[in-house]
Chain A
């Protein structure tokens, strides 16, 4: 089964707080796990991505935590800002064994209160 389950559907966080979005996958052939950020009226844009050979990747205020044994990964946004208000999608894709497909989660609408 090639599903990616994302939670929560929506999230409200105070400015300066930590936003956490979780994803779980099923297909062990996936070898690339990106997070995309989408603002209204725009296409998704790559935010940060990780491969399963590392457990954590940090870029500025954004961190991905990856648990290969549990087949779960999460996005942490530190010091959340109103400008971070957007829809976030996790995704998983596989190379040759995964068929070159990309499977997206259902998305999380984040609202950061000023």
Chain B
């Protein structure tokens, strides 16, 4: 089954404690992306990657890091989480970067930073 998986699905942490949210896709997609969803703001793009070792900032990259060492994985790293990073996070992937037909989203990770 074609899918994007994220782990963990729910996470409660404290300010300053480094965390990683994993994302993996099994569709051999080149393009992967991270979004955060906040009420009244829709989804905002954090980082995206057009291929292995190629990443770029989205609209809200501050406080986040990503890496793309393998095509299937695109982890999101919060080096020193703060309460304003409490949010619902989605990973997404799609095929050829020129073919924007379908972006597949993961099930989401709900993060609470105390």
Contact = CB atoms under 8 A, between A and B. Distances in A.
Contacts of B108: 41-43
A100 B105 contact: no
Interface residues of B, number: 27
A45 B102 CA distance: 9
Nearest to A106: B42
Interface residues of A, number: 26
Interface in A14-50: 32, 34, 36, 41-46, 49
B45 interface: yes
B43 A89 contact: yes
Given A42-B107, A45-B105, A101-B59, A95 B43 contact: no
B48 A34 contact: no
Contacts of A9: 40
A59 B35 CA distance: 27
B15 to A, nearest CB: 27
Nearest to B57: A101
Interface of A: 2, 6, 9, 32, 34, 36, 41-46, 49, 89, 91, 93, 95, 99-107
Q: Which 6 A-B pairs have the closest CB atoms?
A: A43-B105, A104-B43, A104-B42, A106-B42, A32-B100, A107-B42
5 contacts: A93-B100, A99-B56, A104-B44, A106-B40, A107-B42
Interface of B: 4, 31, 33, 35, 40-45, 48, 50, 56, 58-59, 90, 92, 97-98, 100-103, 105-108
